[in-house]
Amino acid sequence: MMSKDYDSARAQFADWGVDTDAALATLSTIPISVHCWQGDDVRGFEKRSGTSGGGIQATGNHPGRARNPDELRADLDFAFAQIPGKHRLNLHACYLDTHESPDRDQIAYHHFTPWVDWAKDKGLGLDFNPTFFAHAKADDNLTLSHPDAGIRDFWIEHGKRCREIAAQMGRELGTAAVNNIWVPDGSKDTPVDRMAARRRLETSLDTMMADKLPKSELIDAVESKLFGIGVESMTVGSHEFYLGYAIRKGTALCLDMGHFHPTESVADKLSSVALSVEDILLHVSRPVRWDSDHVILLNDDLIAMAQELVFADLLPRTRIGLDFFDATISRTAAWVIGVRNMQKALLRAFLLPQDKLKAAENALDFTTRLILTEEARDLPFAAIWAEHCNRASVPVGQGLLAKLQGYQDRVAARG
Ligand code: RNT
Ligand code: ZN
């Protein structure tokens, strides 16, 4: 049964020429790739350890961190149950689930089968990432661009295996897995041979991705970065490096919202990139002063990003992944809030009078465009979102608060 609030909101949007039922139907078709690493502060489940590198840092020590794959899956089950729709899980290679202790250059599909079985059971897709950090061979913040060929080969082997694992996941689940490559490689102080480092990275990537695997199973993606803590002066895989690489080699390009200068708009980049690159991967994140990976808010940056995806018709060739990790709050709440905010931002974009706005802009009628954008802010988006949650039997408002707090109370005793 439809609520009175929804009925009245639907009529208000209809007045603007917007079909709210169509918006909700479209929203239901968009999977968000939920990053496993928010659940345990990017630690992973390897027996070995190392420093994260490249400026990846989860701060905080809130009780309840998932300590093993079973706990992480339980947390994800809870989180997904508070989120409307069917989604994906984005796994990092260091989240293997096995009693064996393979090094990174020894991992294989069978180390991840519990994840695939779980994903099948829950109707989720999987995405994947080689882990080029938190390992003794990455302690110099150099991996695929390391001057030592032996170290490069180690990481190339890791990357190859990850592509094969991801492709097999894609095959098993009937939905292509994105395998996203991010390396921490860079230099703390001013380098004198940037060219050599970039040539090495390029050659390593080429070797790693030499085997052609079907796009129905695997989408290769490459992720750039501006800088990280410890690599302040140069990142080998800069935006220009990977933009060029993706265009020339036909890979997807990953844009992480924390990987640009703080005054740059990542939303603005989408349409430019999309003219030259077929597939786009987003790492939706919230940088505060630096690439701090705060939980995403329903703020202007997120709203602008969603609006670009919708208005530029980029959803069919964009994979939306999240990338944030906050260890000062309930980790499950962080997931739920972040994914729901992404969905709310998309919903807002679907509910805007796109045709009217574009017509005004096309006619250079910027007054009408401004009136429309500003008056549209007062439309009852909340009632449409609440209807979406009701239809999916997931809580909103106070109900959500109680659920999130209840779960956090249950996991808080974990050591
Ligand atoms: C690091 C990149 C990268 C990682 C994950 C864990 O700055 O954003 O995407 O956050 O691979
Ligand atoms: Zn990222």
What's the pLDDT tens digit per position in 208-218?
999 999 999 99
**Six-digit token string for 389:** 């949650």
C-alpha 408 – ligand 1 centre gap (Å): 25
Mean pLDDT score, 47-71:
83
Q: Atom of ligand 1 at shortest distance to CA of 258?
A: 8
Asked whether the predicted pLDDT for residue 415 surpasses 80, the reply is no
Give the pLDDT confidence score for residue 57 in this predicted structure: 79
| Percent of the chain topping pLDDT 70 | 98
Of 361, 362, 381, the C-alpha closest to 372 is 361
Mean pLDDT score, 191-206:
98
Largest CA distance in the chain: 67
User: Which residues have their alpha-adjacent CB atom under 5 A from ion ligand 2?
Assistant: 256, 283, 323
Give the pLDDT confidence score for residue 56 in this predicted structure: 80
3-state class percentages of the chain: helix first, strand second, coil last, to nearest 5: 50, 15, 40
Q: Atom of ligand 1 at shortest distance to CA of 254?
A: 9
Question: Residue 298: is it exposed, middle or buried by C-beta count within 10 angstroms (0-12/13-18/19+)?
Answer: middle
What is the spatial distance between Cα 175 and Cα 167, in angstroms, rounded to a whole number? Answer: 10
Question: Residue 114: is it exposed, middle or buried by C-beta count within 10 angstroms (0-12/13-18/19+)?
Answer: middle
Asked whether the predicted pLDDT for residue 154 surpasses 70, the reply is yes
Nearest bound ligand to the CA of residue 134:
1
C-alpha 322 – ligand 2 centre gap (Å): 8
Of 58, 42, 230, the C-alpha closest to 141 is 230
Q: Is 323 in the pocket of ligand 1 (CB under 6 A)?
A: yes
Residue 157 identity (one-letter amino acid) = E
Give the pLDDT confidence score for residue 27 in this predicted structure: 98
Which residues, other chains included, contact 405 with Cβ-Cβ below 8 Å and sequence gap of 6+? 330
Phi, then psi, of 407 in degrees rounded to 5: -70, -45
Of 83, 21, 163, the C-alpha closest to 338 is 83
C-alpha 14 – ligand 1 centre gap (Å): 41
Which residues, other chains included, contact 24 with Cβ-Cβ below 8 Å and sequence gap of 6+? 347, 384, 387, 388, 391
Give the pLDDT confidence score for residue 411 in this predicted structure: 97
The pTM of the full predicted model, rounded to 2 decimals, is 0.97
pLDDT in tens, 317-348: 999 999 999 999 999 999 999 999 999 999 99
Question: Residue 255: is it exposed, middle or buried by C-beta count within 10 angstroms (0-12/13-18/19+)?
Answer: buried
Instruction: Give nearest CA residue, ligand 1 atom 11.
Output: 182
Of 182, 240, 151, the C-alpha closest to 52 is 182
Mean pLDDT of all residues belonging to the chain = 96
Instruction: Give nearest CA residue, ligand 1 atom 9.
Output: 182
C-alpha 183 – ligand 1 centre gap (Å): 8
Give the pLDDT confidence score for residue 402 in this predicted structure: 97
Asked whether the predicted pLDDT for residue 2 surpasses 80, the reply is no
Give the pLDDT confidence score for residue 1 in this predicted structure: 56
| Percent of the chain topping pLDDT 90 | 96
Check: CB of residue 383 under 8 Å from CB of residue 7: no
Report helix, strand or coil for 231.
Answer: strand
Asked whether the predicted pLDDT for residue 51 surpasses 90, the reply is no
Mean pLDDT score, 63-85:
98
| Domain covering 30-350: architecture | Alpha-Beta Barrel (3.20)
Give the pLDDT confidence score for residue 358 in this predicted structure: 98
What is the spatial distance between Cα 134 and Cα 253, in angstroms, rounded to a whole number? Answer: 24
Give the pLDDT confidence score for residue 29 in this predicted structure: 98
In this structure, is the dihedral angle defined by the CA atoms of residues 187, 162, 338 and 409, taken in order, positive or negative? negative
Q: How many other C-beta atoms can be found within 10 angstroms of the C-beta atom of residue 249?
A: 13
Active-site residue numbers?
182, 223, 225, 256, 259, 283, 291, 293, 323
Instruction: Give nearest CA residue, ligand 1 atom 5.
Output: 323
Mean pLDDT score, 270-290:
98
Mean pLDDT score, 294-302:
98
Asked whether the predicted pLDDT for residue 52 surpasses 80, the reply is no
Mean pLDDT score, 344-356:
98
Per-domain residue ranges of the chain: 30-350
Asked whether the predicted pLDDT for residue 46 surpasses 90, the reply is yes
Is residue 47 very low, low, confident or very high in pLDDT (cuts 50, 70, 90)?
confident
